[in-house]
Amino acid sequence: MRVIFNTLTLLLFLYSINGEITNCRYYPRYHAAPPYGWMNDPNGLTFFKNNYHLFYQFNPDSALVPGTAHWGHMKSTNLVHWQHLPIAMYPNNTYDRSGVFSGSALIEDGKMYLYYTAHINHPGETPDHEESQALAISEDGVNVVKYENNPIILGAGRQPDIRDPKIWKHGDTYYLVLGNKFIKNDTELGRVLLYSSKDKYNWEEDSIVAASDGPLGYMWECPDFFQIGGYFVLLFSPQGVKPEGDKFLNLYQCGYIVGSFDYVTRKFVPKTEFRELDHGHDFYATQSILDNKKRRLVLAWNDMWETNYAEQNDGFTGQMTLPRILTLTKDLRLLQRPVPEIREARDNVICTGRASGGTSVTLADKAGEVNIRASPSSDLELSIEGKNRSVLIYYDATNGQISLDRGGDDGLRRTEWKPKYILKMTIFIDASSVEVFCGDGEVTMSSRFFIDGPLSVRLGDNCEVEQFRVINLKRTIPVDCSDE
């Protein structure tokens, strides 16, 4: 009896580590998520041979820990319907044995060139790790072959934290930026390094794009550097920024600096301060691309380090935000709009038209889109409600602020928002996530929540809105499980 019990326990254990979503209550219906296991940063977002490809930091062995990073892989024709593909890269070479870390893609000559960070741990030594940059190539968009002369950038004098290459081509030259930690006056500080190459294989460091002087933290991860509306945006994820009122409340931040950049001197001149890109709880490690329609798309890991969300017990961790289109305003702020392709996930309209306080509708499968139009001079309250708790979205007309409160410890996120003639809001709800797009995308709030039972959307008691449209969204990510 004892033997049988032990064998059964072992089988159950093997089954659970073999990768299976055991319960769908928190698994996204239309956001990109791993088939099982742990997901963090998006990598190598690109458009190749009629498909968008999205790679990501993946631990196939467990949903509880990041483990030794692999590159997971999925593709989509429309950024809405996602198909999981075989693991693209394993950490199985000497130079990347402790993890194939984050990176990006360049398409040229009908091939996909994937630049990534090769991570090695040296337990018990100082420093206890080192990072170089490596290259892998795919000709068919599925099979990925690592370059035989890896690594291609050693980063001597820049160790041990030098990672997350973001590549692009300008004229006849290739460029990439890397996140790096340096020490000045005994203080660890983050910065971004710029490299260039004439052949994609041999790289030289050109300049330091920007660096922390202390308040902007001790390490900058996942740098991205791109031209938009005649300016350059340096988008990155700094660690070690201290909270300041309603700002910088997450464990790590993600934000941007707008400035000008000269390809001749390779100098970046900032014209704005650092601003958070999103104001929710879960937004980190962005990746952007200029897609085949010349749109600047961005998405982020819709999660945060050290959160231990309840989804882990269901066999997965992490999802991506919806892809958004970035544009720059005249006063140098980034606007984010959800890609219009999201319409392809729409099912039936549950309600539409004017609505007054207390109106409540239940989503068919915990997934929906809510469009609101109202007067900016009245407060507005909306809640997402389930069996035992709710998420509150609140517009305060007097103070010109928008809040999202998911309850629990550190539940509140709040920022300034002063809509002028009309208040417009679009909210995407998906099993365990909410993304709020305010106005023309001048404020977004992306957060995870874990509520059991069917989800309802309810208008606050004293609210009156001109338009309250709620649409069921359908499943666009195949996964074999049900809610329990």
Binding site for ligand NAG (CB under 6 A): 90, 92-93, 185, 310, 388-389, 452
- 74 vs 254, which CB is nearer to ligand NAG? 74
CA-based nearest residue to 76, from 42, 109, 101: 42
The DSSP secondary-structure symbol of 190 reads: E
60 upstream amide cis, omega within 30 of 0: no
- 308 vs 388, which CB is nearer to ligand NAG? 388
Closest approach, Cβ 39 to ligand NAG, in A, equals: 19
Distance, CA of 229 to CA of 215 (rounded, Å): 28
Q: Is 177 exposed, middle or buried (0-12, 13-18, 19+ CB in 10 A)?
A: buried
CA angle 64, 70, 76 (to 5 degrees): 100
Distance, CA of 51 to CA of 193 (rounded, Å): 31
Q: Is 41 a catalytic residue?
A: yes
Q: H or E segment at 415?
A: strand 412-416
- 126 vs 388, which CB is nearer to ligand NAG? 388
Which own/partner contact pairs does 179-188 have at CB distance under 8 Å and 24+ positions apart? 179/219, 179/220, 179/221, 179/222, 179/223, 179/236, 179/237, 180/155, 180/220, 181/218, 181/219, 181/220, 182/158, 182/211, 187/214, 187/218, 188/218, 188/219, 188/240
Instruction: Decide the pairing of beta strands 355-356 and 423-430.
Output: unpaired
Closest approach, Cβ 98 to ligand NAG, in A, equals: 14
Closest approach, Cβ 251 to ligand NAG, in A, equals: 21
User: What is 110-139 written as a DSSP string?
Assistant: TEEEEEEEEEEE-TTSSS-EEEEEEEEEES
Closest approach, Cβ 462 to ligand NAG, in A, equals: 25
- 400 vs 407, which CB is nearer to ligand NAG? 407
Closest approach, Cβ 145 to ligand NAG, in A, equals: 9
- 64 vs 310, which CB is nearer to ligand NAG? 310
- 8 vs 142, which CB is nearer to ligand NAG? 142
Instruction: List, in sequence order, every residue forming a beta bridge with 373; answer none if it has no partner.
Output: 424, 467
Distance, CA of 411 to CA of 414 (rounded, Å): 10
Q: Of 41, 161, 164, 224, which is the active-site residue?
A: 41
Give backbone dihedrals phi and psi of 40, rounded to 5 degrees, phi first. Answer: -130, -125
Closest approach, Cβ 175 to ligand NAG, in A, equals: 29
Closest approach, Cβ 389 to ligand NAG, in A, equals: 4
- Which are the catalytic amino acids? 41
